[in-house]
Amino acid sequence: MKALILALLLGFPQHSPVKTAVQVRVLKVERIKRNEDSNLWYTVKLAVRDREKLYGLEAECISTNSDSHMSCGNLSVPHAGTTVTVTFYDAVLVQFGDDKLYYEVASEEVSDCK
C-alpha cells in the first residue's frame, strides 16, 4: 500500500511531491512480528518529534525473503534517543537516508514540549 501511495505521489506529472528534510528525535521504537503464510513479517512503529510536532510512523517489512522489495534489509530502524535527518514526502511518507522502503505517517499532533 505504501509503495502505491509513493508511486501515485511521484508518478503524476502535474503534482511534484513536496520534499522536506527535517531533523527528528526518535523517542520510541516498537517491532511487532507476525507469521503469515510461513513468512515472518514485522510492523515497525516509531514515535518521533521535530521542533513542532510528534509523529507516529509505521512501516512493514518481511524478514524471510531478502530478495523482496519489502525485505527488512531495505528499511532503516533508528535507535531510540538518536537524532536523525529524514525526508518527508507531502507529509504522508517518510524516508530515512536512501532506504527503498518508506514509513507512513500514521499520526501527527502538535507538540507542546520544546
3-class SS of residue 67? coil
CATH architecture of residue range(s) 2-110? Distorted Sandwich (2.70)
Query: Which of helix, strand or coil describes residue 12?
Result: coil
Which contacts (CB < 8 Å, 24+ apart) does range 70-75 have?
70/101, 72/42, 74/99, 74/100, 74/101, 75/44, 75/99, 75/100, 75/101
Quote the cell numbers at residue 32: 511487532
The torsion region of residue 62 among left (phi > 0), alpha (psi -120 to 50) and beta comes to: beta
Could you report the per-residue pLDDT of 24-83, keeping only the tens digit for each? 999 999 999 999 888 899 999 999 999 889 999 999 999 988 888 899 888 989 999 999
- The pTM of this model reads 0.80
